[in-house]
Amino acid sequence: MNGLRGRAAEAGLRVLAAAGWPGPADAEPPRLAGFVHSNFNPIVAAVAGRCLAELPESAPPDGDDAGTALVLVSDLGDVESAAHVARAVDTGARVGPLFFFQSVPNAVLGHVAARHALTGPVACVCDAASGLDVARGLLADGDAGRVLLIELDHDETGETAAAVLVADGGAS
Amino acid sequence: MNVMTRATADVLITGVAVLSAFGRGMGALAAGLDAGAPAFAPVGRFDVTGRRVGVAATLPGSPDLATELAALVDEACDEAKLSTAERAATPLFLAVHGDPRLARSAPADRPRHGGAAFVAALAAGAGLGAPRAYTSACVAASTAIADAAGIITRGEAARVVVAGGYLVDADQFALFDAGRAFAADGAIRPFSARRRGLLLGDGAGAVVLESAAAARDRTVAPLATLAGWGRAGDAHHPCQPHPQGRGMARAITAALRRGGVGPDEVGYVNAHGSGTAQSDAAEAEALRTALGGHAAAVPVSSTKALHGQALEASGVLELAVTLHALRGGRLPVNAGYLAPDEQCPLNLVLDGARPATPAYALTLNAAFGGANTALLLGAEA
């Protein structure tokens, strides 16, 4: 259980699965090929995969037309990588090419979408209320059959994340 | 699943403001598009020593993003004749990479420089409500516009202001250079043989989207209709498009279906047309899939060859471009073209702006993550 799950239910969304990061046994997130320097992208991929794995096999399909959308909530994005690039620019140091490919939060969503065959819309917003509203709108308008909503927060101890897979209507 | 809702309440565009390397205002943009001369020049805004490529399409000097956005939002709201009370009841959606100060902020100060705080400050200054920031790369603005249209259609708001902004900066320039994404020959050549990649450009804008009923009540004349919108994912790769443009084809199809518009009614396509080898070929394939035989006939241009790639602001800048095409009677040129590419068999607008009065026009955007959007504008308002 996590706060995102409760807020999704309060928003009138049907929660099909939920997951969080870190769990009791988690230390570092699994490495993610092609992504470097920070834990932002590995955590997003890990919590997304964990949430999708929680989906019961008996769950109805996401619809072969609209598919499952991905909505990422992050106020600061991959700020550790952005700060690294800023330091490199300011000191005349080399910027590694992999930082280009992870320079926007969409990139890791593309990884998640490809790995799990999620063909719905892809969006990134900066606060959870907006993320929930985007998810609700996509479902209400038939632009997605399900939404995988991921929230990543930064605090003094690092990043924490939660994910819910939601569908339209009903209580969880 | 739900069946996609039709746009039962017409969504109108009642105000627009724009900034590009051609200058501030729709007049400057229109003049630049009609002239058809790319705005790329050596970068003077920051040091590009050691970079593979040193050009971009920029305004003079180093304009401040927050200041420019505040002016654009005001201008669009003024054109839409929004009162103070109407502004207060209007949500503001902003497409932006983030607060430009975030990456150089001390860790303890970072929360003050998040995207949420940045859009909240802009909304407070403009007297608008319900701020929301989108950071979805090159589909950030078009996604915000689609979401705004959905909110209006569902009757949850009478109108939404959508703004977006990107001003060429040293960090993004360094990243794109490191990723070898820039066109080393200093030109964007969308859908052309020997295209080499993209170049960055300043872009920012604001648009007021409003229900037809609300605009009618206020006796405000619309600039155009937002007749349809669609978005879909490729589910293919973190940063490469699906080779057949799978997501883009579905986005276009959704926009047309939502608008109740047939492919052959589309009279112009303002393409994403980044000028990269894979993306342009995928987009051409998507157009063939979504429009069928009409894909080879409908006039297409990517105006990134003129104003550059404005990243998160692309959707609002290119919506302004498409508005000009609908209202100005001239389709902007697909500049930089060298020779046909058999992977891109499109009816490109070459040899200068082409006279035309399309009833409907599509503006397309794609981004990392396999994100694709299609907005369908109608001139019939």
pLDDT over threshold 50, residue B1: no
pLDDT over threshold 60, residue B336: yes
**Beta carbons within 8 Å of A107's beta carbon, 6+ residues apart:** A35, A41, A101, B238, B239, B368, B369
Predicted-complex ipTM score: 0.96
Nearest alpha carbon to residue B236 among A74, A106, A51, A162: A106
Residue A157's pLDDT is what? 76
69-108 in chain A: CB under 8 A from chain B: 69-70, 74-77, 79, 82-83, 85-86, 88-90, 92, 94-97, 99-108
CB contact under 8 A, A95 and B177: yes
CA dihedral B186, B142, B363, B355 (to 10 degrees): -80
pLDDT over threshold 90, residue B63: yes
Measured between CB atoms, does A136 come within 8 Å of chain B? no
A85 contact residues in B (CB cutoff 8 A): 103, 171, 174-175
Q: Could you read off the pLDDT of B357-371 as tens digits, one per residue?
A: 999 999 999 999 999
Residue A62's pLDDT is what? 64
Residue A171's pLDDT is what? 40
Question: B50 vs chain A: nearest CA distance in angstroms?
Answer: 9
Distances (CA, A) of A160 to A84, A164, B345, B379: 21, 14, 48, 47
Cα atoms in the Cβ-side hemisphere of radius 13 Å centred on A99: 25
Question: B34 vs chain A: nearest CA distance in angstroms?
Answer: 33
Q: Band of the pLDDT at A172, cuts 50, 70, 90?
A: very low
Q: Band of the pLDDT at A59, cuts 50, 70, 90?
A: confident
Q: Band of the pLDDT at B86, cuts 50, 70, 90?
A: very high
- Nearest by CB: A107 against B178, B236, B238: B238
Report how far residue B160's alpha carbon sits from residue B123's, in angstroms, rounded to the nearest whole number. 12
Measured between CB atoms, does B52 come within 8 Å of chain A? no
Report how far residue A43's alpha carbon sits from residue A48's, in angstroms, rounded to the nearest whole number. 8
CB contact under 8 A, A86 and B103: yes
13-32 in chain A: CB under 8 A from chain B: none
Mean predicted confidence (pLDDT) in B225-233: 97
The pLDDT mean for chain B works out to 96
pLDDT over threshold 70, residue B374: yes
CB contact under 8 A, A82 and B151: no
Q: What are the φ/ψ torsions at residue B255 (nearest 5 degrees)?
A: -65, -40
Report how far residue B180's alpha carbon sits from residue B183's, in angstroms, rounded to the nearest whole number. 8
Distances (CA, A) of A30 to A38, B23, B90, B252: 12, 47, 43, 37
- Report, in this order, helix, strand and coil percent for chain A, each rounded to 5: 35, 25, 40
pLDDT over threshold 90, residue A65: no
Measured between CB atoms, does A120 come within 8 Å of chain B? yes
Residue B373's pLDDT is what? 98
Q: Could you read off the pLDDT of A132-157 as tens digits, one per residue?
A: 999 999 999 999 999 999 999 987 77
Query: Between A and B, how many residue pairs show a Cβ–Cβ distance under 8 A?
Result: 211
CA dihedral B253, B259, B263, B264 (to 10 degrees): 180
Q: Three-class SS of residue A130?
A: helix
Residue A63's pLDDT is what? 59
Q: Could you read off the pLDDT of B28-60 as tens digits, one per residue?
A: 999 999 999 999 999 999 999 999 999 999 999
Mean predicted confidence (pLDDT) in A119-126: 98
Q: Name the residue with tokens 């920012």.
A: B204
CB-based contact B81:B213 (threshold 8 Å): no
pLDDT over threshold 80, residue B380: no
Report how far residue B360's alpha carbon sits from residue B226's, in angstroms, rounded to the nearest whole number. 10
B23-24/A122-125 β-pairing: unpaired
pLDDT > 70 in chain B, percent: 97
CB-based contact B64:B45 (threshold 8 Å): no
Which helix (H) or strand (E) is A72 found in, with range?
A: strand A68-73
Report how far residue A85's alpha carbon sits from residue A101's, in angstroms, rounded to the nearest whole number. 13
CB contact under 8 A, B175 and A108: no
pLDDT over threshold 90, residue B245: yes
| Cβ atoms < 10 Å from Cβ of A91 | 7
